[in-house]
Structure 1
Amino acid sequence: MGEHGTTHRQAIGALIAQFDATLSALDPALLSGAEFLSIVSEAEAFGRRADALRARVAAESETRIDGPIDTLGAAGYASAKDAVAKLTGTSVAEASRRIRTGKGMAPGVALSGASTAPRHPAVAAAVAAGHLGVEAADVIMQNLDAVASRVDPMVLAETEESLVFLAAGTDTHPPLCVDLVRVQIAPFLLRIDPDGARPREKRAQRKRHLTFGQACLDGVIPVSGLLIAEVGATFKRLVDAHARKVTFTDGTESAPAAADDRTRPQRNHDTLADILSAASRVKDAPELAGSAPAVLVAVTATAVEDGRGVGFIDGHAAPISIEAVERLIDTRGHQTVTLNAAGRVLSMGSTQRCFTPSQRRAITTRDGGCVIPGCTTPAGWCEVHHVIPWRAGGETHTDNGVLLCWGHHQRIDSGPWRLSMPDGVPHVRGPGQVEWTPAGMSRVRSQLTRTG
């Protein structure tokens, strides 16, 4: 190793030793409030300088592997990111980010061999000074690089300086978190590249996807994807609107959500379930194999009659409980298929135990939406639930059916809410309610109550 490299290694080793001594003597729990706030900022400033060094070294790895002497290839590494990942113990994705960020801030080399300014000088200076983190720097550089071919270099440089100023912060305004940096970049790009929206939309169109993974052992199906702006925004607004308090046209407000221990992601999931349930019932829904799309569940008659056992969803390896089967039958009905011992179909009955469209319209008029207090799920998204289970002799009749959203339908048998139907009117009892109280959001019934 040359004298230059030895000197740098010794300097870095001395810094690490000094840092270790400082860290071992530091106990954040003993700091005052002001001291703690100060140490958080100072620790970040130290870390940013370390990150800048790591990015600069990572960028050099790509130069080495592409140079006349392939140092990394000779050592057995397949690529620059492979070398950085294995030498540092990071992921390939993190190695790629470090290389990309370092290249954007590294000085260039002219044909004469002289050093030139970095591609992003304002970003490089802010990172070197510890004023800007490499994550924010990467976001700024990637976005500017995406429009660089269409924007005047002077305008691009001014935009870079403005974004760095906002992101790094000053004595008069605090630095922006990376999420806010992303938000701030959008109006800048729109101003300097007004025609760039169309190419971005085309890229988004190419990237859009929705993928269903293999079911996990517990039956959960992983879903991943990217939604284009209008689709994602529409879905988000549906979910947000579903979670908010609803004001009716008659001026009354729905009760606040009660006894709902679901997390926000769980509520998002249940809202999607409500939307899918409603979509499967529309009159002109696309057909699959000659009928409306339906979830097929195989279950033995004995399991349904006894309330014990499991069922199997078509194409889904993990079994589902008989309770889940009951909820599906509540909503979709069931059809009896008789097989002999060899598996031959002997007979097939008609669909039973399913509320008809006319019954559903009548129940919708009466209930107006999910009958659980505080739930704002509209009637069109709800499922019809047998209050007295069909297995226990409950009839498929309007006096025994109530509207429940998907989430409350899942848990109605385990609490905390209970349902009853005196004189065919839904009543509920739950947390904070000693007596059975009429339920539902029917505008007709509320009007009759006020005028009666």
Structure 2
Amino acid sequence: MNHPVDVLDQVVRDLDGVVCAGSVAGLSDAEKLDLLRAAGEVVRRAEALIVETVASVPARSAGSGDAAFCGQFGCRSMSELLQRVLRTDAAGAGRVIKAARLVRREVDISSGGWLPALWPQLRAALVDGAVGITGLLAATGPIEQARGRVGAVDRLRADAELAAWARGTVVVEMDADADADADPGIDVDEPEPGPAATPEDLRILAQRIVMFLDPDGAEPAEEAAMRGRGMILGRVKNGLIPIHGDLLPETAGQLQRIWDAYLNPKVDGPPLPGVQFVPSDDGDARDGQDARDGRDARDARDRADRDGDVLPSGDPGGQVDTRSRAQKQHDAFTAMLGIAARHDEMPKLGGAAATLIVSVTAEEYATGHGWAHIDGIDTPTTIAAARHTACGGTIQRVLFDPEGRIVGIGSTDRIFTTHQRRAITLRDTECLIPGCHVPASWCEIHHVQEHARGGPTHTDNGVALCWHHHRTLETSGWEIRMDNGLPTVRGPAWWDPHRRWRTPRPRSESTGRSTSTSTSTSTATGRRSARING
């Protein structure tokens, strides 16, 4: 039997003959496609051999006296050894090491036999060349992140399903009540060949499996995402300023919708840089007067005396807003996207405004547990994001039957009108949370009593909140209620130990309230999409 190294040396010589012969350029298109397919088979099997080799290296326990594998060859770590031997970078070496951990098989001390790998079916698919390192990590990554909340039995079931998709085989599940004579050629649970899944397909499938197995994992994911969000401008390089950061799924979804609107073939594309002058009209004059009225109200507020139940808008301790600069810039960018999407000059997309669409099942929306989907973004988001989007948008209920057919469509308008928004902006002047000075004209309008629970779209039920405080209202400890049409707030215990309901800021005589008709919503089951023009 030839040594494995001798076999691989012969493979290398054969490949050299193919590459150096110069015959690739003369192949037909069909032959080139076949060549790429065969090369992919070679690459995946070479990756499987590398991973299996690294996985077979035994771990040396501290104090055992045995030199580590990498130390025997003058390297400080396995990563350094792989970088030198495979001529890859640190990221590539790290992916090999991570893949090796997933498919490593330990020896049973009592029997001396091999124990199954952590992902046995995907390991077999790797060895067979059905999946490479990229596909293996894409399939296991989402489930590994939720590993503490996914049991071993569920993980093995996911392993089998993902491996079947990687091989291009799915299981045909026959209805027990179906007529057996309808198609005698198909047996129950018979594998049906199909196209093999790409690593991106496996990643999306794994995310869907996690959403089913770990519906409560949305909350810790939400906390991690809120901490990690941010945007910064880099240093100038070659006359350009790079942008770095991480966006929340709803922010990325809104940005993608705006890009789609501008890049729509039916429009002229994005506008050229420059300034465009347009004639003024009565509407512009009215908006300008509203802005002046807002500034006058703010000046009157600042001059007014404050009593014990009125909270100053300042924050000397700097405790109200603990966001980093990168997080503030991210949130400001999100608010800018919402304003841009509502602008009259924004191109239409499919005959409608560039609308952020978030879909969630009615049951998960009602309970607050589970995951939601943003149109155009593969990464699932949380129910909190769906609630935040629905608060200022339109809920459209789309009912599906068990087979996925649309059986009903409904819509509930919950957007504050321009006149209502203008009145609330004039009354609140800025974000309602004390210490936050984001102008009300930049804020979102929040339903104090949730619309889904019967809260009306009425000025007596709407307050101005900046994107950040609107997005985090349920978890920040701030509470809002309406007192005879005027909003009052109660701060978290660390900010106000007495937890008293207080007026956020004094009202000037120039502020007033207007009324509008209220609407209510009815309950329904099925999948719904919350839409907001922004």
Superposition TM-score, scaled by structure 2 size: 0.43
| Residue 242 (str. 1) matches residue 238 (str. 2) | no
Alignment of 1:42-81 (within 5 A): 42-60=38-56, 63=59, 68-81=66-79
CA displacement, residues 173-201 of structure 1 (integer Å, 9 cap, x when unaligned): 21222223222222211111111222222
CA displacement, residues 258-296 of structure 1 (integer Å, 9 cap, x when unaligned): xx6xxxxxx59979xxxxxxxxx9969xxxxxxxxxxxx
| Residue 178 (str. 1) matches residue 176 (str. 2) | no
Report the counterpart of residue 188 of structure 1 in structure 2: 209
Give the C-alpha shift of residue 87 in structure 1: 2.5
Report the counterpart of residue 320 of structure 2 in structure 1: none
Report the counterpart of residue 160 of structure 2 in structure 1: 161
User: What is the identity, as a one-letter code, of the residue corresponding to 2:49?
Assistant: L
Structure 2 residue ranges without an equivalent (≥5): 170-191, 275-287, 293-343, 355-534
Give the C-alpha shift of residue 48 in structure 1: 0.4
- Shift in alpha-carbon separation, 1:161–1:86, aligned structure 2, 3 A: same
User: What is the identity, as a one-letter code, of the residue corresponding to 1:155?
Assistant: D
- Shift in alpha-carbon separation, 1:35–1:108, aligned structure 2, 3 A: same
Give the C-alpha shift of residue 126 in structure 1: 0.6
Alignment of 1:275-314 (within 5 A): none
Report the counterpart of residue 150 of structure 1 in structure 2: 149
- Shift in alpha-carbon separation, 1:166–1:109, aligned structure 2, 3 A: same
Give the C-alpha shift of residue 237 in structure 1: 2.0
| Residue 219 (str. 1) matches residue 236 (str. 2) | no
In 1, distance between residues paired with 2:353 and 2:212?
A: 41
In 1, distance between residues paired with 2:346 and 2:116?
A: 64
Give the secondary-structure state (helix, strand or coil) at the position aligned to 1:139: helix
- Shift in alpha-carbon separation, 1:172–1:72, aligned structure 2, 3 A: closer
Identify which of 3, 9, 12 aligns with 2:5: 9
Would the aligned equivalents of 1:28 and 1:36 in 2 still touch at CA under 8 Å? yes
Would the aligned equivalents of 1:122 and 1:161 in 2 still touch at CA under 8 Å? yes
User: What is the identity, as a one-letter code, of the residue corresponding to 2:203?
Assistant: R
Structure 1 residue ranges without an equivalent (≥5): 246-254, 261-266, 272-280, 285-367, 379-452
Would the aligned equivalents of 1:58 and 1:95 in 2 still touch at CA under 8 Å? no
User: What is the identity, as a one-letter code, of the residue corresponding to 2:260?
Assistant: D
In 1, distance between residues paired with 2:92 and 2:209?
A: 27
Give the secondary-structure state (helix, strand or coil) at the position aligned to 1:157: helix
Would the aligned equivalents of 2:140 and 2:206 in 1 still touch at CA under 8 Å? no
In 2, distance between residues paired with 1:157 and 1:168?
A: 17
- Shift in alpha-carbon separation, 1:190–1:370, aligned structure 2, 3 A: closer
Alignment of 1:321-400 (within 5 A): 369=345
CA displacement, residues 218-246 of structure 1 (integer Å, 9 cap, x when unaligned): 3311111111112222222233233337x
Superposition TM-score, scaled by structure 1 size: 0.51
In 1, distance between residues paired with 2:48 and 2:84?
A: 19
Would the aligned equivalents of 1:144 and 1:160 in 2 still touch at CA under 8 Å? no
Give the C-alpha shift of residue 208 in structure 1: 1.8
Give the C-alpha shift of residue 97 in structure 1: 0.3
Structure with bigger gyration radius? 1
Would the aligned equivalents of 1:369 and 1:377 in 2 still touch at CA under 8 Å? no
Say which structure, 1 or 2, has more relative contact order (CA 8 Å, 6+ apart): 2
Would the aligned equivalents of 1:101 and 1:137 in 2 still touch at CA under 8 Å? yes
In 1, distance between residues paired with 2:85 and 2:48?
A: 17
Give the C-alpha shift of residue 120 in structure 1: 0.7
Alignment of 1:361-440 (within 5 A): 369=345
Would the aligned equivalents of 1:59 and 1:98 in 2 still touch at CA under 8 Å? no
Give the C-alpha shift of residue 19 in structure 1: 2.8
Give the C-alpha shift of residue 101 in structure 1: 0.6
Give the secondary-structure state (helix, strand or coil) at the position aligned to 1:236: helix
In 1, distance between residues paired with 2:35 and 2:100?
A: 27
Give the secondary-structure state (helix, strand or coil) at the position aligned to 2:76: coil
Give the C-alpha shift of residue 93 in structure 1: 0.9
Report the counterpart of residue 105 of structure 2 in structure 1: 107
Higher helix share: 1
Would the aligned equivalents of 2:125 and 2:166 in 1 still touch at CA under 8 Å? no
Give the C-alpha shift of residue 91 in structure 1: 0.7
Give the C-alpha shift of residue 14 in structure 1: 2.2
- Shift in alpha-carbon separation, 1:26–1:41, aligned structure 2, 3 A: farther
Question: Matched residues, percent identical?
Answer: 23
In 1, distance between residues paired with 2:121 and 2:271?
A: 41
Figure out how many residues of one structure are paired with residues of the other and give that number.
261
Give the C-alpha shift of residue 103 in structure 1: 1.8
Give the root-mean-square deviation of aligned CA atoms.
3.7
In 2, distance between residues paired with 1:121 and 1:269?
A: 55
Would the aligned equivalents of 2:99 and 2:137 in 1 still touch at CA under 8 Å? yes
Give the C-alpha shift of residue 136 in structure 1: 0.7
In 2, distance between residues paired with 1:191 and 1:80?
A: 36
Would the aligned equivalents of 2:138 and 2:200 in 1 still touch at CA under 8 Å? no
Report the counterpart of residue 410 of structure 1 in structure 2: none
Would the aligned equivalents of 1:107 and 1:117 in 2 still touch at CA under 8 Å? yes
In 1, distance between residues paired with 2:267 and 2:145?
A: 46
| Residue 90 (str. 1) matches residue 111 (str. 2) | no
Report the counterpart of residue 133 of structure 2 in structure 1: 134
| Residue 205 (str. 1) matches residue 226 (str. 2) | yes
Would the aligned equivalents of 2:232 and 2:244 in 1 still touch at CA under 8 Å? yes
In 1, distance between residues paired with 2:72 and 2:61?
A: 9
User: What is the identity, as a one-letter code, of the residue corresponding to 1:106?
Assistant: R
Give the C-alpha shift of residue 118 in structure 1: 1.1
Would the aligned equivalents of 2:165 and 2:196 in 1 still touch at CA under 8 Å? yes
User: What is the identity, as a one-letter code, of the residue corresponding to 1:38?
Assistant: D
Give the C-alpha shift of residue 57 in structure 1: 2.8
Would the aligned equivalents of 1:239 and 1:268 in 2 still touch at CA under 8 Å? no
In 1, distance between residues paired with 2:133 and 2:22?
A: 26
Would the aligned equivalents of 1:62 and 1:80 in 2 still touch at CA under 8 Å? no
CA displacement, residues 5-28 of structure 1 (integer Å, 9 cap, x when unaligned): x93322322222233234444733
Report the counterpart of residue 356 of structure 1 in structure 2: none
Give the C-alpha shift of residue 56 in structure 1: 2.4
- Shift in alpha-carbon separation, 1:12–1:268, aligned structure 2, 3 A: farther
